[in-house]
Chain A
């Protein structure tokens, strides 16, 4: 357990959490969904491109993935929003829940697919 890794996660999470909060102010009601969608695309791209190609130092990769993107996205707020929507109108809860679940997975798949294509293209040119 390196202190450098913990400090990297903490520092980047500080920024990630604030960015998510700002997004909820800019886009009320949609902020968490947008943060979660964007974060899924970015983290799977980071995982399958930057990490597999070994482009950056371990502590930086950990800071960006676990810290910045990990804290930018959130699961707890998704669940409370869904249940609170469901207390008023179950149809809204269903739409919000499915948009998060399907959207998150599809965007993570897109990040993965983009990373694989880029790696293939670079290997072709090498």
Chain B
């Protein structure tokens, strides 16, 4: 259980650093979260392919690091912010790129 916590802490700090770095660009489009979720999905696919999904390596790298690195709540809060701004085109493109990109990345590895 401690290894899940440590992995999550590492993953979340990397996510925080990537999003903070991206926010400096002042571009009003959440590319950082998109990048994190799509790369994290693909990397979790690789973790499962190499370690399986029932051992200590998976708990640390998969449940911990990739679980903490990627996020579902930020994605949906950003979608709600776009809905609030009536930016429906942006909302739809962000949704399609995230789900499409994430699922495609994993499908290429595990499908």
Interface residues of A, Cβ cutoff 8 Å to B: 1, 5-6, 9-18, 20-22, 24, 36, 39-40, 42-44, 47, 62, 66-67, 69-80, 82-84, 86-87, 97, 100-101, 104-105, 107-109, 111-112
A70 to B20, CA, bound (A): 14
B44 touches A80 (CB 8 A): yes
Give every chain B residue within 8 A of A97 (Cβ-Cβ).
99, 103
B 1-20 contacts with A by CB, 8 A:
1, 4-13, 15-17, 19-20
Q: Which residue of chain A is the closest to B7 with respect to CB atoms? A: A17
Name the contact of A39 in the complex, choosing from B13, B15, B37, B73 (C-beta under 8 A): B73
As a 0/1 sequence over residues 77 to 111 of chain B, the CB contacts with chain A under 8 angstroms (1 = contact) are 10111011000000000010011001101110011
Residues of B contacting A: mostly: helix
For chain B, which range describes its interface: under 10, 10 to 19, 20 to 34, or 35 or more residues? 35 or more
Interface residues of B, Cβ cutoff 8 Å to A: 1, 4-13, 15-17, 19-20, 37, 40-41, 43-45, 48, 59, 62-64, 66-77, 79-81, 83-84, 95, 98-99, 102-103, 105-107, 110-111
19 A-B pairs whose Cβ atoms sit less than 8 Å apart in the complex: A6-B13, A9-B9, A10-B9, A13-B11, A13-B68, A14-B6, A15-B5, A20-B67, A43-B77, A71-B12, A71-B68, A73-B72, A73-B73, A76-B40, A76-B102, A77-B63, A84-B110, A97-B99, A97-B103
In the complex, how many angstroms separate the beta carbon of A15 from the nearest chain B beta carbon?
7
Give every chain A residue within 8 A of B81 (Cβ-Cβ).
47
Of A1, A10, A47, A71, the most chain B CB neighbours within 10 A belong to: A71
- With A10-B12, A75-B37 known as contacts, the answer to whether A43 contacts B67 (CB < 8 A) is no
Give every chain A residue within 8 A of B70 (Cβ-Cβ).
74-77
- Apart from A73-B71, A77-B70, what 18 extra A-B contacts exist at CB < 8 Å? A6-B16, A9-B12, A14-B9, A15-B5, A16-B8, A17-B5, A17-B9, A21-B4, A43-B74, A43-B76, A47-B77, A75-B75, A78-B102, A80-B41, A83-B106, A104-B75, A105-B79, A109-B80
